[in-house]
């Protein structure tokens, strides 16, 4: 007998049963409509599946089932179980720029012309889908964080001594996982907060609250101003600690201390800058990529009101085509370009996907170029640990529009699935094959005909083609078919003359990583390519992307023990974890490198200290060592704050181009940040520098001091 099984997530069915008054058939219809306008980022889900069977005529060797195309909904509902009708933040591409009429049910936040960000409840999704102004709808994926001695390596100490810039009058924006609002590193000497505004995007606003309000121009989250923060009304806690650490690197003033240690030891790059902070995600929920666009626009709005230039740090990353043309990267570029403030610079961490022998799971990229008679194969090594019907592997491949490739897979058991040429796949769009090696989905430029390509704009900035491959556990006919362990072969077969390589990425893996011995999935040594790994939106055309180098490989912890990591972090070398470039379209990235290994910075008071992580504590018990490009990026963010302060003093209006030129002119031969060199290029005497007694003069027989405003190394002193 021949069957097709439609797979719908249990979560969707159960939740929708509580959510909507419609019958199940009506819910199914809604989900079908979703599939007509969804981002390729939302094509597949890792949710548990249920079996609903209907008959059809198919190949007798396989059962074709529908892959879980409700990722768009299930990820939202899965993290909003206690919300009767959860809210969605989506990026909408308009058929005609600036032509969209908001309704009571669909509210516009950011308007970028071609794109808008909107908020709506899940029950109103069909209304948005059926809006004639809408070309496509995208919900982003989850974003991942990318994280004393470092200041010496990049010339901060010398710059402070000679130039006296501190970031005063500049806004440092932090978009991250929150911040420890009560941390002394973010307070002035009088105890008032340096955080002028804080937007908690994931806080559910309650109109009956006495304090806190919706941010102007936006429809979700809670905004807190400096008065409310100083009054203790904001109760946000940074349990993750990542955002606090990042903010401390960029702009901490080092006031926090204990254990009889002197304050001022761990001072950030721009210790007198003002802070505007966005909590982009909570610790237990999905971080939707397109709220990033709103965060940029909101910081610009606040900085413009204050009349101050701004620089924003983003130490988080997403997958995608990595060539500047994804919806996320294009929307971020437009948000920056359409901002009205001064400076308008966004700094992004490169990502932590660089390979080292200790981290085989970092081998997430392969590439190749294939001829008409020679298919190129790459080996994907998979090891699962438990068969519980929830494991998923998602791969994505990109190749030039001028090329024609077929794709097929060899399973560990020797089965061949495919080949599938362009516009073909395993069944209808979104369907896969149930095999003894698990559920296999392959789609080569094979999507619903009403679907709009999310990675490229309609004016054909680029025309790359896209392949999605998924491997999933599945229970079918009361039998569990799990992803097979062993080597999987992915073949790319060039059908016509080729001119550019293709690139394949492991987009996401769920192999029960909470198990004592987690599963793994990576390309083998002969297959992986340790290039083109910059995470999004770091490939955007007007964002400064930062990689990591090792400026420190040992420290004395809180117990007085010297911790040595010299084997992991050889000095003055690019960190092995740092994602290498270039972008997929061949542009040089990262733009610059900064310290990212064992960076000591502000510790959130809410961060749980355990036996396992105590030894990363510094002796003052208020600062903590972390490694990652997340830590490298805020070094550059702080440096740019100093340059923007210099720009104001020089009565200039430096932006992305001018700042990037200064960084490029001054960076070392290895590409490392040199703040001193960057400030020196345009340095003249700073009126904020202290008065220095230089000469003595006799007046009425009495020796009098003569004051001369001076800076070391400056010849045109003001007197």
The answer on 153 and 133 residing in a single domain is no
The answer on 104 and 16 residing in a single domain is yes
The answer on 110 and 169 residing in a single domain is no
Is the per-residue pLDDT at 564 higher than 80? Answer: yes
pLDDT for 463:
59
Show Cβ contacts of residue 690 under 8 Å, excluding neighbours closer than 6 positions. Answer: 164
Domain of residue 714: give its range: 690-719
Angle between helices 156-163 and 629-649 (to 10 degrees): 20
The answer on 171 and 71 residing in a single domain is no
The predicted-structure confidence for 593-616, as pLDDT tens digits, reads as follows 999 999 999 999 988 877 677 778
CA gyration radius, the chain? 27
What's the pLDDT band for 45 if we cut at 50, 70, 90?
Answer: very low
pLDDT for 707:
37
What's the pLDDT band for 574 if we cut at 50, 70, 90?
Answer: very high
Ranges 18-22, 342-346, 643-647: which has the least confidence = 18-22
The answer on 319 and 170 residing in a single domain is yes
pLDDT for 658:
97
- Contact (Cβ atoms closer than 8 angstroms) between residue 594 and residue 549: yes
What's the pLDDT band for 388 if we cut at 50, 70, 90?
Answer: low
Ranges 223-237, 494-508, 649-663: which has the least confidence = 494-508
**Domain endpoint, select from 472, 490, 523:** 523
Structural domain includes residue 705 = yes
Structural domain includes residue 529 = no
- The whole-angstrom distance between residue 672's C-alpha and the CA centroid of its chain comes to 22
Whole-Å CA distances, 501 to 278, 319, 402, 439, 494: 39, 19, 11, 28, 11
The answer on 159 and 39 residing in a single domain is no
Structural domain includes residue 577 = yes
Structural domain includes residue 363 = no
The answer on 189 and 250 residing in a single domain is yes
The answer on 301 and 378 residing in a single domain is no
Ranges 409-413, 420-424, 463-467, 601-605: which has the least confidence = 463-467
> How many residues are there in the chain?
719
The answer on 375 and 295 residing in a single domain is no
CATH code, domain carrying 335: 3.40.50.200
The answer on 312 and 166 residing in a single domain is yes
Structural domain includes residue 516 = yes
Structural domain includes residue 582 = yes
What's the pLDDT band for 212 if we cut at 50, 70, 90?
Answer: low
User: Distance between CA 609 and CA 618 in Å, rounded?
Assistant: 12
The answer on 176 and 88 residing in a single domain is no
- Contact (Cβ atoms closer than 8 angstroms) between residue 600 and residue 556: no
Confidence (pTM): 0.81
**Domain endpoint, select from 138, 156, 176:** 138
Show Cβ contacts of residue 71 under 8 Å, excluding neighbours closer than 6 positions. Answer: 38, 42, 43, 44, 45, 47
The predicted-structure confidence for 50-66, as pLDDT tens digits, reads as follows 222 222 222 334 466 55
Of 23-32, 69-78, 644-653, highest mean pLDDT: 644-653
How many Å from the N-terminal Cα to the C-terminal Cα in the chain?
96
Structural domain includes residue 599 = yes
**Domain endpoint, select from 113, 138, 163:** 138
Structural domain includes residue 629 = yes
* Segment holding 377, helix H or strand E: strand 376-383
User: Distance between CA 179 and CA 256 in Å, rounded?
Assistant: 14
pLDDT for 143:
64
The predicted-structure confidence for 106-157, as pLDDT tens digits, reads as follows 889 889 898 888 888 877 877 888 888 988 777 666 565 554 557 777 888 8
The answer on 556 and 470 residing in a single domain is no
pLDDT for 303:
97
CATH code, domain carrying 411: 2.60.120.1290
Ranges 175-179, 655-659, 689-693: which has the least confidence = 689-693
Say how many domains are in the chain. 4
The predicted-structure confidence for 639-668, as pLDDT tens digits, reads as follows 999 999 999 999 999 999 999 999 999 999
């Amino acid at each position: 007998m021949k069957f097709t099984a439609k797979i719908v997530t249990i979560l969707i069915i159960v939740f929708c049963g509580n959510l909507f008054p419609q019958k199940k058939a009506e819910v199914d219809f809604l989900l079908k409509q979703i599939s007509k306008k969804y981002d390729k980022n939302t094509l597949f889900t890792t949710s548990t599946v249920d079996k609903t069977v209907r008959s059809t005529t198919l190949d007798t060797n396989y059962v074709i089932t529908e892959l879980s195309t409700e990722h768009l909904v299930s990820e939202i509902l899965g993290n909003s179980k206690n919300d009767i009708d959860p809210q969605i933040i989506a990026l909408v591409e308009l058929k005609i720029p600036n032509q969209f009429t908001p309704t009571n049910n669909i509210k516009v936040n950011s308007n970028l012309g071609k794109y808008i960000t909107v908020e709506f409840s899940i029950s109103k999704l069909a209304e948005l889908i059926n809006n004639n102004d809408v070309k496509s709808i995208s919900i982003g994926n989850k974003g991942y964080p990318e994280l004393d001695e470092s200041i010496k390596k990049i010339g901060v100490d010398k710059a402070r001594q000679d130039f006296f810039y501190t970031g005063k009058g500049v806004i440092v924006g932090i978009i991250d996982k929150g911040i420890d609002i009560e941390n002394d590193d973010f307070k002035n000497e009088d105890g008032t907060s340096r955080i002028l505004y804080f937007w908690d995007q994931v806080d559910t606003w309650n109109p009956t609250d006495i304090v806190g309000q919706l941010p102007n121009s936006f429809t979700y989250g809670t905004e807190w101003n400096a008065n409310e923060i100083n009054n203790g009304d904001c109760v946000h806690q940074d349990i993750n600690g990542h955002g606090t650490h990042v903010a401390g690197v960029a702009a901490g003033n080092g006031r926090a201390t204990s254990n009889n240690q002197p304050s001022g030891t761990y001072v950030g790059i721009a210790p007198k800058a003002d802070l505007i902070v966005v909590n982009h995600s909570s610790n237990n929920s999905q971080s939707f990529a397109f709220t990033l666009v709103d965060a940029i626009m909101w910081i610009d709005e606040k900085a413009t009101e204050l009349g101050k230039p701004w620089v924003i740090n983003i130490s988080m990353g997403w997958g995608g085509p990595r060539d500047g043309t994804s919806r996320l990267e294009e929307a971020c570029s437009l948000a920056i370009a359409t901002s009205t403030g001064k400076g308008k610079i966004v700094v992004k961490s490169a990502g932590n996907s660089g390979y080292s022998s200790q981290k085989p799971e970092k081998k997430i990229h392969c590439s190749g170029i294939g001829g008409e008679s020679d298919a190129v194969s790459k080996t994907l090594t998979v090891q699962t640990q438990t068969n519980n019907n929830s494991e998923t592997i998602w791969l994505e491949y990109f190749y030039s529009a001028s090329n024609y490739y077929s794709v097929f897979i060899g399973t560990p058991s020797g089965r061949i699935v495919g080949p599938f040429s362009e516009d073909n796949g395993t069944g209808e769009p979104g369907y896969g094959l149930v095999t003894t090696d698990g559920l296999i989905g392959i789609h080569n430029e094979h999507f619903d005909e009403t679907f709009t390509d999310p990675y490229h704009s309609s004016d054909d900035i680029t025309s790359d083609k896209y392949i999605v491959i998924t491997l999933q556990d599945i229970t079918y006919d009361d039998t569990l078919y799990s992803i097979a362990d062993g080597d999987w072969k992915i073949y790319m077969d060039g059908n016509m003359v080729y001119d550019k390589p293709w690139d394949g990425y492991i987009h996401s893996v769920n192999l029960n990583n909470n198990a004592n011995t987690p599963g793994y999935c990576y390309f083998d040594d002969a297959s992986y390519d340790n290039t083109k790994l910059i995470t999004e939106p770091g490939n955007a055309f007007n964002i400064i992307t930062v990689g990591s180098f090792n400026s420190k490989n040992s420290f004395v912890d809180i117990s007085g023990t010297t911790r040595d990591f010299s084997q992991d972090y050889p000095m003055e070398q690019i960190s092995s974890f740092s994602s290498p470039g270039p972008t997929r379209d061949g542009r040089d990235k990262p733009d610059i490198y900064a310290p990212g290994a064992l960076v000591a910075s502000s510790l959130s008071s809410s961060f749980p200290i355990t036996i396992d992580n105590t030894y990363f504590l510094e002796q003052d018990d208020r600062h903590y060592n972390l490694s990652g490009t997340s830590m490298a990026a805020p070094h550059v963010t702080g440096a740019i704050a100093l340059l923007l302060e210099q720009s104001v003093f020089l009565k200039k209006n430096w932006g992305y181009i001018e700042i990037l030129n200064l960084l490029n002119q001054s960076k070392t031969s290895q590409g490392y940040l040199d703040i001193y060199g960057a400030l020196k290029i345009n340095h003249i005497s700073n009126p904020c520098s202290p008065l220095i007694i230089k000469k003595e003069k006799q007046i009425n027989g009495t020796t009098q001091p003569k004051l001369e405003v001076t800076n070391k190394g400056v010849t045109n002193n003001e007197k």
